Amino acid sequence: MHRTRTDEGWILRRQEYGEADLWLDVYAQTLGRVRVLARGARKARSRKGGHLQLFQQVRMTLAQGRAWWILTQAQSQRWFPELRQHLDRYAAAGYLAELVLRLVPEGERLPGLYPLLSQALEAVARHPQGHWVPRYFEWKILALAGYRPQWDACVRCAQPMRLGRPKFFDPTAGGVLCPACRTPRSLPLPDRAWAALRHWDRATLDAVLRHPPEEDLFPQLEALGRAYVQTWLETPPRAWKVQREV
Ligand SMILES: [Zn+2]
């Protein structure tokens, strides 16, 4: 007897396999990150094929195989045509997907990630401030993975941080440092960037997009986020290169 499950999830990677099959990496609501084989999905008359596009949310019926899940039925829930129409948004969605695939091992689930990913993909596709989504998502997924940085007090000496005093961000120390504790690796952390990151640490994506930081802060926040992502991934995300090209 095969065990079967139904679940919904976002297709984050799609690889053609053999004559007509597809491998899908899906982040699903209850199963978390799963690898799914969709047999015959690329045949012209397949009923499954049309529902299996990248960054699409699908309702799936899965049968458990020896080492992976086999897709037996799929029904489209949501997808965002805006992602196909705007290369920059498509690249941003690809970055969110890559962060999930690199930070969540197969078969695992991070509590809180599914709703965050759903909101983030929709906002990247449709929200007028959607370019801020990857910046917020970087910190949030790392926090969910157990790497929540500390912003309120120096990571080393616990001195509370205040506006108007110099402060630094050390990605390997996992948070903010006072001038006395700064290391050669630490990056200057101007007050406005510090205030934004401290706010993001507690705020929802909706709240962040309602009141995004001033636009001139974008490069600084991008550099800080990348420094932190880089610390936890062995190699830089492929998406950084893609985004540069876009
Ligand atoms: Zn200190």
pLDDT per position as a tens digit, 213-223: 999 999 999 99
- What does the domain layout of the chain look like in residue ranges? 4-78, 87-240
Q: How far is the CA of 53 from the centre of ligand 1 (A)?
A: 49
Q: What is the chain's percent helix, strand, coil content, to nearest 5?
A: 40, 25, 35
| 7 Cα to the center of ligand 1, angstroms | 47
Q: How far, in Å, from the CA of 169 to the mean position of ligand 1?
A: 11
Better pLDDT: 16 or 46? 16
Percentage above 90 pLDDT, the chain: 85
Q: Tell me the CA–centroid distance for residue 168 and ligand 1, in Å.
A: 10
CA–CA gap between residue 37 and residue 22 (Å, rounded): 6
Å from CA of 181 to ligand 1 middle: 4
Place of tokens 């974008």: 218
Superfamily of domain 4-78: Nucleic acid-binding proteins (2.40.50.140)
Distance 199 CA to ligand 1 centre (A): 21
User: What is the CA(23)–ligand 1 centre distance, in A?
Assistant: 49
What is the dihedral sign for C-alpha 101, 107, 110, 116?
positive
pLDDT of residue 246: 74
pLDDT band at 158; cut points 50, 70, 90 = very high
Q: Is the pLDDT of residue 1 over 70?
A: no
- pLDDT tens across 42-100, in order? 887 776 666 789 999 999 999 998 888 999 999 999 999 999 999 999 999 999 999 99
Q: What is the pLDDT at residue 47?
A: 66
- d(CA 201, ligand 1 centre) in Å: 20
C-alpha 172 – ligand 1 centre gap (Å): 15
Distance 184 CA to ligand 1 centre (A): 14
- Ligand 1 center from residue 196 Cα (angstroms): 21
Cα–Cα distance, 32 to 125 (Å, whole number): 22
Q: Do residues 51 and 73 touch, judged by C-beta distance below 8 A?
A: no
Ligand 1 centre from 230 Cα, in Å? 23
Q: Where are the beta strands (DSSP E) in the chain?
A: 4-17, 21-28, 32-38, 57-64, 69-78, 168-170, 175-177, 187-188
Q: What is the SS3 assignment for 52?
A: coil
CATH 2.60.40.1180, applies to 87-240: no
Q: Which positions ≥6 away from 120 have C-beta within 8 Å? A: 96, 133, 136, 137, 205
CA dihedral 48, 49, 54, 56 (to 10 degrees): -40
Would the pTM of this model clear 0.85, i.e. be above it? yes
Buried b (16+ CB within 10 A) or exposed e, 57-85: bbebebeeeeeebbbeebeeeebbebbee
Among candidate residues 56, 3, 62, the one with its CA nearest the CA of residue 38: 62
Q: How far is the CA of 157 from the centre of ligand 1 (A)?
A: 4
Q: 162 CA to middle of ligand 1, Å?
A: 12
